[in-house]
Amino acid sequence: MSGAGPIRIGTRASALALAQTGVVAEAVAKASGLEVELVQIASEGDHSTASLASLGGTGVFASALRDALMADSCDLLVHSLKDLPTDPVPGLVIGAIPKRADARDVLCARDGLSLEALPARARVGTGSPRRVAQLRSHRPDLEILDIRGNVDTRLGRVSSGDLDAVVLAAAGLGRLGRLDSATGYFELNDWPTAPGQGALALETREQHSAELAAVLLTLDHSSTRLAVLAERAALAGLEAGCSAPVGATAVVDGGMLFLSATVYAEDGIRFLTASHALVIEGSAAERAIQPSELGKRVADDLLAQGAADLAAVGGAA
């Protein structure tokens, strides 16, 4: 691979995006022996102050990056997988999914408080409809505010006293070295998080160099890929966007792939859950399609239970 040009990695310019892209860049440089160049790309989601739901969900962060990749302004993109729409883009592929970080949500509250210890009518901020529903399910007395901004901005609203707490992803705080701000962790069996949360997606053009393909192969983590693809398949089967009130958790254990997904009503009181599992077996090609089959099975179960009556899933307006 000597004599090859640098591998250009496209990223958003936020502190979190740069932190997680930096980790990937180091791994790419180590695996390839090539120079790595970061290409910062601005998106509509970075400039707008409107809520994510009104902008069409977190996919607004991916579109500008993908345009740059298609225009050959970079060779590789680093996405937070939970922010990536499930619909495929012709000409682009997820070339690697590295080992997943902590998929849980955390509470970051004033005075080290837990969710249970927050006072009545405490002000809690989040931009996620799923987290809104979960907060209402656990503490219907809370005042929940729709917020935007990067991690520091959100934490700053707590330290300033504007909010009593915010809910954030453990993985993001960890990548920024800010886990000391967490005052409580929500366990996945009681508080499932966004499909793909904690994982990164390395996206590239379908036609890419053999050198890049070799690098991506070294960065891919097979059990993470199986788990997050199953979660995303459930989201796709529900015809729900990445801002929908849907939580999903998949794990690989003992040669089995387990998947559970929950659809919430806006009030958080009503929700439906479906869980299924399958044995991971067969050829590599057969194993590659099993997460999609499992996700569809879970989605079909939820729709049969009436999930479309709770939220905008299954084609419901």
Active site residues: 82-83, 130-131, 148, 154, 242
Q: Which helix (H) or strand (E) holds 49?
A: none
Paired sense of beta strands 271-279 and 256-264, if any? antiparallel
Q: Which two tokens stand for residue 113?
A: 């408080």
Buried b (16+ CB within 10 A) or exposed e, 101-128: bbbbbbbbbeeebebeebeeebbbbbbb
Question: In 3-state terms, what secondary structure has residue 233?
Answer: helix
311/317 Cα distance (integer angstroms): 9
110/108 Cα distance (integer angstroms): 7
